[in-house]
Amino acid sequence: MAEEHLTAAQQAGLLQAAEEARKNAYAPYSHYQVGAALLTASGRIYTGCNIENASYGATICAERVAVAKAVSAGEKDFVALAVVADSTQPGSPCGICRQFLVEFAPQLLLIMGNLQGQVKVGRLDQYLPSAFNQEYLK
C-alpha cells in the first residue's frame, strides 16, 4: 500500500536512482533514453531502463523492467516510482506501463522528472482512471 507522501529527500533520491539507471538505456532506434526507480514497502529500490529491439514491438519500457526485477525478486508491495527522461516536460509512463503498474499498486506515487530538473508528482489512479483490473475477471 502506498504511503501518503515521500519526503523531498526520498523523492530526490528516487529520481537520482532513475537518472542513474537511464545511463544503461539501450535505445538505438528512438534515442529516447528512460530510467525508472521503484521503491518497495521494504525500502528497496529496483531500477530499470528501456531496452529496444530491432523488432520494435519487442521493446520494453524502463518502468516495466523495474517492476519485473522487483516481482521476480519476490516484491510486489510498491510505494513510489520515479521516471526520468530527457524530454521537454517530465517523463510520463506510457499506457502499457500504467496498466502494468496498476496490477500491483493503484495508488502508486508517480514522481516524473526530466534532465532539466522539472518534476511532476501524481498518483497512478489519476493517470489511469477506471482501470481494468482483476475485479472484472470475477
**Of residues 15, 37, 83, 111, which one binds ligand THU by CB under 6 A?**
83
| 128 near ligand THU (CB under 6 A) | no
**Of residues 13, 20, 24, 27, which one binds ligand THU by CB under 6 A?**
27
CB of 44 to ligand THU, least distance (A): 21
| Catalytic-residue membership of 3 | no
| 82 near ligand THU (CB under 6 A) | no
| 132 near ligand THU (CB under 6 A) | no
Kindly report the CA angle at 5 between 9 and 79, in degrees rounded to 5?
A: 95
Q: Which residues does 92 contact at the CB level (< 8 Å), separation at least 6?
A: 83, 112, 127
Q: Which residues does 74 contact at the CB level (< 8 Å), separation at least 6?
A: none
- Window contacting ligand THU (CB under 6 A); options: 15-23, 56-64, 102-110, 120-128: 56-64
Compute the 3-state secondary structure of the chain and give helix, strand, coil in percent, each to the nearest 5. Answer: 35, 25, 45
Alpha carbon separation from 67 to 61, 81, 86, 98, 130 (Å, rounded)? 10, 9, 21, 11, 21
Residues that bind ligand THU (CB under 6 A): 27, 30, 32, 34, 50, 52, 59, 61-63, 83, 91, 93-94, 97
Catalytic residues: 63
